[in-house]
Structures are given as C-alpha cells and as structure tokens.
Structure 1
C-alpha cells in the first residue's frame, strides 16, 4: 500500500479538491483506495453520508493517534473507496506530545494488505497532524495557486518536508508542486507558469488545473468533475483533471 499525503502550508489552494479527484481516478483505475481525513472534515463531506440506521462503530481519524483502533474498520463510501472520517477529537492531536506523530504509520500499516493506495488530507498549517502525515507517507504532492502569498510559502513547505526527511522519514519522496486554480483570464498567472517551471524544474508538474466553477459544482454533488460531463467547460475540466491525476499517480506507482 502506497501512502500519499496532499499538503500545503497555505489554505485555499485546492488540496481537498485534488485529493477527491486523485481518489476517484485511482478507484476508477481499479485501485483499492483508503482515504484518511486529517483536516477539518471537508474531504469527509465529499463522500456519501452514513446511511440511516447504520450504527456500525467505524474507525475515525482520531483513533489512529490514540491506539484505540483495533477492531474498527474504515467505512466503504464508494466502489474501491473506503474512508477514515475526521471527527471532533482529531483536533486534540495537535495538543499532544510531539511523539504522537509516530502513531499514524503503524496504525495504517494494519491495512497494508487491504488497499493499494492510502490518500491523506492535511490541515493547511504546520501542526502535529501534518507532520504525522508526512512521517507516515511514502510521498507528498503539493497543490498550489498562483498568488504572492502562496508562492512565498512554497519554500517553507519544502523546508518542512526536508526537516521530516532528515528527522523522521528519510524515505519520503516529494512528487512535486501541482499548479491548481489557475485563472486563465489572468495574463499574470498564465505568464508566470513558464518562469515557475524553469525555477523549480522537475519539482513542478508539467500539468496544470485551470479554475472552473464546474469543478466545485461537481464536488458539491459528490462526483468528480468528469462524471457525466455535459458542457464543453466540464469536459475540458475533466480531461485536464484526469491528466493531472494520472501524472501524480504515475509517479507514485513507478517510484
């Protein structure tokens, strides 16, 4: 089972959007995907809600850090897709001693034979949950949008990743920065991409995801943007998103 974290130390860059689509793409390709929500629960809301009358005590994210996870299982939320949902006690993890970051990897390893891919969503700041995710992961991908505030934080994110590699997880691989939410009507953003790719080289994906309202509309309905695409904009968004997802997962499974 490959464990992948989607991370950025800046909110509003589309981490959850990218993770939802990576999960959907991998599942459609036949991968058995375990999704772990370590953020505030937005990712969990993308998937089908618990059915009425289902009183099964499913595994929740906070239990991955407390050791109270034996006997609990993730909830299946779609074909080839299972979820470990964010819960309120998860927020307490950030106030626990630092060594709590080492609890996540062994908690997930019990599922190594059940899944091909584990996708972890993280909060947009440097807290215990993010460090734990990076410590537990085989690789990390970083979506970003083209804004002065986000670009200023990219070196900070890389510093965090390198610190985790040095101290906790030398096997962690940085897959690259993924341009997301690109405003196609902004000459400044479009013109900035070649310079960013030149500056970051192989650390930046050649693919990019243009901002289109149809992406959020599809997510609100619980679907990837390519699902039953009708408009030309949605079809283009679907093709673009699939290219980006394929590029990320190709790096994961050919590493």
Structure 2
C-alpha cells in the first residue's frame, strides 16, 4: 500500500490549517446548556476487531459529554468487563449486572445501575456472566430486542447512553445495534483494521433492514493515530475515501496517558485534564453534538 497508489492526497503532519483527515481544522462550538434531560440518544460503540479503543473511547467520550452537562449512562456489554473495571468497579464482585437485567424479568435495570465517582455518569456493569447470555438468548422470543426493552425504562433519565460492545458480531452486538439510534466505529490506524469494516457495515445494514430502521452510522473514529508515520496517514486517507464525511474530524492520537488513566480507573479528562488526549475527547464530544449525534 504505497503513496503512489490511487489519487488520494495524504495530509502531511505539518499541513497548516488542515487536520489528519485532510479537511480544514474546525473549532466546534461549545455545547448549549440543556434546560431538561432525556429522552436519551443511544449510541453503540462497535467493531468486531479487538484492541481498537472501544472501551477507552466509551469512557472518555462519556466523560467529555458529562463535562458538557449531559447525563450519561455507560453500558458495559462485554463479558470481559473492561468498561466496569475502567470506572473503578471490580466486575467479579458484582451480584447484579446487565446479564441479570437481560435474563431475569424480576430484576429491574434500576437495580443494576451504579453511580460512579464522575459527575453525571452512571454505569450498567457487566462481568463474565454475560458470556452465557449469548447462548441463553437464542431461545428467547424477540431475542434481538431484549436490551432495547431494558434501556427504554431509563431512557428519560439520561441524555446519552453509550454501549461498549464486545469484539464480535454475535447476538449481543446485534442487541446493541437494535437498541441504538447511532453507531460509532472506533478504528485503529492500521491497514489490517480496515479489512474488517466491510463486514461490520454489512451487519449494520442488515439490522437497519430487518430490526431497526432508525439506526445510522454517526461516524468512524480514527484511534491510535501517529502523525509521524506514513502508514497512519495512509489509513486515514483510505477511511476518508470509503466513508467521506462520516469520518470524524477529531482523531485520537496514540499516547501512554490513556493506559495510565485506565490503571487509575479514571477518564483522561479528570486524570490528565490538560493533556492533548483529554482535549481530543472534548473535541469529539463537541463534534458529535454539532452533528446531531447527541443532544
């Protein structure tokens, strides 16, 4: 994949006035103050490839939206429980999780939701029990809509609900897509990550056709970007070629601070409030709101 192939112009790391996507740098406006809250817009963070920054982006985008005065519910929909752990919860010590909400009609979603140390953010946690739901839901009536039914009961309490999906396109992910209004696709800036996107888009289109006609792709988020490498810039160029304006102008650069914040069980917006990584997620929140992807 060389720079001579195709006619796409690769943005240089030093192109004045242009961002990594090759578009002029935009200063997104500060979000308006909400006079009331709810109903929530539900956004699924989806990519069947692991290690692309889904959980990191869910936590930090959620924190940036909360800073902007939005009430946010983060839904851990991955049996690994990384989102729950990243917010300071020990998934293995939980008695009530999203699994119980899905599988036991006697358990209300309010019983499982936890308040976090971060203002305006609540958590619907998960642990390894959730892996059993994939098998158990197969025999359920309207099995693709179980999460949707649960989230509707708390939709009026929040402005945004972000669902951190597991790295697969199985029944849990289909549940998340059925419950969602929009999809954000985090994508690491590596060539092999591009290959999986076509299958993901095909799955999204099937859910749109058969289960959830309101579903739309809010945007593709480039993560772990390194402006020093031609490879990262080529991947961004191919993304823009394939998705056009659906690629967020905001790009998340590679930095060890994200790992440090995860160890501290904090979003980067509080762990390193003045770091460029925190500023990037604040910019993403403003961009999402300006696009109509969040209230």
Whether TM exceeds 0.5 here: the answer is: yes
Cα distance in structure 2, aligned partners of 1:121 and 1:228: 21
Query: How far is 1:121 from its partner?
Result: 0.6
Counterpart in 1 of 2:115?
76
Could you give the per-residue CA deviations for residues 210-249 of structure 1, whole angstroms, max 9, x where no partner exists?
Answer: 101112112221222233638xxx6222222321232234
1:155 is aligned to 2:228: no
In structure 2, C-alpha distance between the alignment counterparts of 1:122 and 1:169, rounded to whole Å = 17
Matched residue count: 246
Task: Give distance in 2, aligned partners of 1:220 and 1:123.
Answer: 20
In the alignment, the residues of structure 2 paired with residue 74 and residue 245 of structure 1 have an alpha-carbon distance, to the nearest angstrom, of: 23
Q: Does residue 64 of structure 1 match 2:104?
A: no
Q: Which residue of 1 aligns with 2:56?
A: 17
> Which secondary structure state, in structure 2, belongs to the residue aligned with residue 43 of structure 1?
helix
- Structure 2 residue 283 is the aligned partner of structure 1 residue 246: no
Q: Does 1:181 align with 2:220?
A: no
**Cα distance in 2 for residues equivalent to 1:82 and 1:62:** 17
CA distance in structure 2 between the partners assigned to 1:191 and 1:159 by the alignment:
24
CA contact (8 A) 1:31 1:80 kept: yes
Please list the CA deviations of residues 148-196 of structure 1 after superposition, one character each: whole Å capped at 9, or x if unmatched: 3210011111001001000100001111111101123322212442343
Q: Distance in 2 between matches of 1:46 and 1:21?
A: 10
The structure-2 alpha-carbon separation of the partners of 1:63 and 1:128, relative to structure 1 and needing over 3 Å to count, comes to same
Distance 1:85 1:226, change over 3 A: closer
Q: Does 1:2 align with 2:45?
A: no
What per-residue deviation string (whole Å, max 9, x for no partner) do you get for residues 73-130 of structure 1? Answer: 4110131111111033211111131732211111111102212211111011111110
Of 215-224 and 114-123, deviating more is: 215-224
List runs of 5+ in structure 1 lacking aligned partners.
none
DSSP 3-state at the match of 1:72 = helix
Judged with a 3 Å threshold, the aligned counterparts in structure 2 of structure 1 residues 249 and 16 are, in CA distance, closer, same or farther, namely: farther
Query: Normalized against structure 1, the TM-score is what?
Result: 0.88
Name 1:29's counterpart in structure 2.
68
Distance 1:62 1:250, change over 3 A: farther
Partner Cα distance (1:27, 1:211) in 2: 23
Question: What is the DSSP-based 3-state SS (H/G/I as helix, E as strand, rest coil) of the residue aligned with 1:227?
Answer: helix
Query: How much does 1:47 deviate?
Result: 1.2
For the residue of structure 1 that corresponds to 2:261, the secondary structure is helix
Q: Map 1:82-101; keep pairs closer than 5 Å.
A: 82-95=122-135, 96-97=137-138, 99-101=142-144
RMSD: 2.1
Aligned mates of 1:164, 1:222 — CA distance in 2: 34
Contact 1:69 1:107 in 2 (8 A): no
Query: What CA deviation, in whole Å up to 9, does each residue of 1:23-49 have, x standing for no partner?
Result: 111111121111110112000001133
Which segments of structure 1 move beyond 4 Å, counting only runs of 4 or more?
none
- Within the alignment, does 1:128 sit opposite 2:171 as a pair? yes
Q: Which has the larger radius of gyration?
A: 2
TM-score normalised per structure 2: 0.77
